[in-house]
Amino acid sequence: MSINIISVDNLTFCYNSAEIISDISFTVKKGDYLGIAGPNGSGKSTLIKNILGILHSQKGVINIFGQPLTSFHQWNRIGYLPQRTNSLNNHFPGTVKEIVQLGMKKQKSNALKNVLEMMGIVHLANRLIGELSYGEQQRAMLARTLINQPDLLIFDEPTTALDPETREIFYSLTSKINNDRNTTIILITHDTGIIGKYARNLLYLDKKIIFHGTFKDFCSSPDMTGFFGMTTQHIICHQHDTAENNI
């Protein structure tokens, strides 16, 4: 039986009395690759911030690795890549080497070498993070999430502003990590085509859960046809086909 890495029960989150997430429940199993999609303001990032303990919900229970969030301490089992590199302070005096080892109590030179090699940024190790291109910064940030070999990876809009080639390399790598290490991955993106191509399951959110299941089920679901309309559903599923044909 698959172990639940994350279980969310009846989660509700309000901001200034406006409900951002309304009574949602779902689980993520070990080794799953879950894509979370939804329109702007649908609560995708808010949901992830609740799971990571950055925001605190008014109602509901979250368990991570079988433990209630409130008593969870094994944060090194989670690698989180926030939606943010464009807000990075370009004058920050941190080298790639320092950023990749961010927050680590003990320096692990072998792990650092391996992860820099995996991301193809060994030559950038001593460069300041602010001096790098967006793509290089993102690779350094991804290296940071991978250095502890976490059991769960969470990516929030990780490829915004990346060129298509770097984007493909990024997602292929996440897929490889998911397959080779059985690492659970949660990916937030607007690009449902990418979810269809790489993720096993789709969670479509619009304050509440609209759909949770496989992409195939999403495309053949009459409920989703009713919700999105046939044209929109077709476009979403066609993106998926196009993405697959481009492999």
Partner 1 sequence: MSLNDILSYDFVQRAILAGMFIASFSSILGVFLVLRRFSLIGDGLAHTTFGSVAIVMLIGISPLYITLATLPLVMLSSLAILKLTRSKRIQGDAAIGIVSSIGIAIGIILVSLSNGYNVDLFSYLFGNILTVTKTELWLSFIVFLTTAVTVIIFYNDFFAITFDEELAQTMGIKTKRFNVILFLLTAVAAVLSMKVAGIMLVSAMLILPPLTALQLSMSFKKTIIAAVCFSIASVICGIILAFLLNLPAGGTIVILNIGFFLLTFGAKNILSLPR
- Please give the residue ranges that form the binding site for partner 1 (CB under 8 A): 16, 49, 52-54, 73-76, 78, 80, 82, 84, 89, 91-95, 98-99, 102-105, 126, 128, 131
Q: Which residues of 97-109 are buried (b: 16+ CB within 10 A; e: fewer)?
A: bebbbeeeeeeee
Which is closer to partner 1, CB of 98 or CB of 168? 98
Which residues share a beta bridge with 70?
none
Using alpha carbons, select from 111, 104, 183 the residue that is nearest to residue 151: 183
The nearer residue to partner 1, 73 or 123, going by C-beta atoms, is: 73
The residue (of 102 and 230) whose beta carbon lies closer to partner 1 is 102
Nearer to partner 1, 61 or 99 (CB): 99
Minimum gap (Å) between residue 58 Cβ and partner 1: 15
Smallest distance from the beta carbon of 235 to partner 1, in angstroms? 34
| Cβ atoms of residues 26 and 213 within 8 Å | no
- Select 3 or 54, whichever has its Cβ closest to partner 1: 54
Closest CA to 221 of 207, 238, 234: 234
Q: Is the dihedral of CA 127, 133, 136, 141 positive or negative?
A: positive
> In angstroms, what is the minimal distance from the CB of 18 to partner 1?
13
Closest CB 116 distance from partner 1, rounded Å: 16
Angle in degrees, CA 15, 34, 158, rounded to 5: 70
User: For the chain, what is the total number of helices (H) and then of strands (E)?
Assistant: 9, 10
Q: How far is the CB of 89 from partner 1 (least distance, A)?
A: 7
